[in-house]
């Protein structure tokens, strides 16, 4: 009887530790099935989200939130999207440097 209970607990432990993390942002596939290459005016952009390639998706993904509430996947290989990503990353880096305490 004790052996049976021990086996049940060992099996449950193995199942629980092997499970992927459960969170709101966990995704096991690419989010962008289609990408947009047309230029979107800066006034229409509310924010952008950068998702690096990884086990969930072999491609880098750039998702733009528009002022009207729509979400658009941008082509990360497009020249204007590369410039936009470079600008946003540079802006984030300058903010971090501005908030770092000076030694």
| Terminal-to-terminal C-alpha distance of the chain | 64
pLDDT of residue 25: 52
Does the pTM surpass 0.75? The reply is: no
Nearest CA among 41, 90, 91, 95 for reference residue 64: 41
Q: Please report, to the nearest 10 degrees, the dihedral formed by the alpha carbons of residues 91, 93, 98, 102 taken in order.
A: -170
Least confident range from 36-45, 68-77, 86-95: namely 86-95
Helix, strand, coil percent content, the chain, rounded in steps of 5: 40, 20, 40
3-state secondary structure (DSSP) of residue 68:
coil
Under the banding of pLDDT at 50, 70 and 90, the label for residue 74 is very high
pLDDT of residue 67: 94
d(CA 88, CA 99): 17
Structure confidence by residue, pLDDT tens digits, 23-48: 455 556 888 889 988 999 989 999 89
Topology of 30-102 in CATH?
OB fold (Dihydrolipoamide Acetyltransferase, E2P) (2.40.50)
Q: How many CB atoms lie within 10 A of CB 45?
A: 16
């Amino acid at each position: 009887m004790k052996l049976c209970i021990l086996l049940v607990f060992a099996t449950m432990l193995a199942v629980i530790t092997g499970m992927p993390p459960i969170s709101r942002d966990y995704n096991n596939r690419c989010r962008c099935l289609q990408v947009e290459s047309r230029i979107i005016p800066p006034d229409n952009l509310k924010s952008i989200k950068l998702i690096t390639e990884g086990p969930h998706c072999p491609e880098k993904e750039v998702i733009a939130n528009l002022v009207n509430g729509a979400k658009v996947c941008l082509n990360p290989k497009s020249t204007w999207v590369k410039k936009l990503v470079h600008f946003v990353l540079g802006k984030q880096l300058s903010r971090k440097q501005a908030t770092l305490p000076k030694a």
